Structure 1
Amino acid sequence: MIYKNSLEGISSAMLKGFFVNWPKPPKLETHLKLLKNSSKVVIALDDNTDQVIGFITAISDDVLSAYIPFLEVLPEYKNKGIGKELVNRMLKELDDIYMIDLCCDDDLVPYYDKFGMIKTNGMILRNYKKQSGS
């Protein structure tokens, strides 16, 4: 397993299999674009297959606030500590930031509790016509 804080050497072809159960998942090129446009990114690579198997992104003003919109691990690699490592590495990247926010489904609250995060209220708006990013 290799963890990287850059997209150097990462192509869209290395991003297959993400956005499971999304009715309109982004294309591979769109996925790469969202990674590139993020303030910070950490990816996990399978060093045997040279495929991205997990990623986490953050959007930040680099002063006081950051938001973590994505944490994903391919289904066949789940429950191996990869997500935990991605979160820990991202939190280290954001160590100088006052507030780090994310939204998650209720069933994931216990997962994020383990990182010292506190449950709060949040509001969202979804434009499902644009779910694929195009």
Structure 2
Amino acid sequence: MRFLLYTTLLVYIIMVSAAPARGQQSPEVAIRQLMQQQTEAWNQGNIPAFMDTYWRSDSLLFIGKNGVTYGWQATLERYQQSYPDKAAMGTLQFDLLEFKRLNPELYFLVGKWHLQRSLRNVQGHFTLLIRKMNGTWKIIADHSS
């Protein structure tokens, strides 16, 4: 009986210690929420709010069909030029395919994007590097094609 009690207690301790701290969510859940925040901002036609999910730094890296863009401001301007109005933006949908933990504060995300538009639909794939900085997850590198 004592063995069963100790075994049960040991299993409970292991499960509690492996779970995220109370009030914290797993990185994957937090990153999914980040991507949902992006989707909602885009679908409201709000590119600046969409850009809130990116690292506000000159070191942000965006790679798209037209090449490499460096920096948060330049990336914002690129989006605004490429998507001048809601019709061009359409409705965004993500399919998150793979999460790879590189270290506790850095994830590699692979996914698909789809824009439903009246003009013509477009879609492609993306890879993101997402880092936790000051308690917040931010996209630090984006390669979308």
Q: TM-score, normalised by structure 1?
A: 0.29
Q: Which has the higher strand share?
A: 2
Q: Which has the higher helix share?
A: 2
Determine which structure has more spread, i.e. the larger CA radius of gyration: 2
Larger relative contact order (Cα-Cα within 8 Å, sequence gap ≥ 6): 1
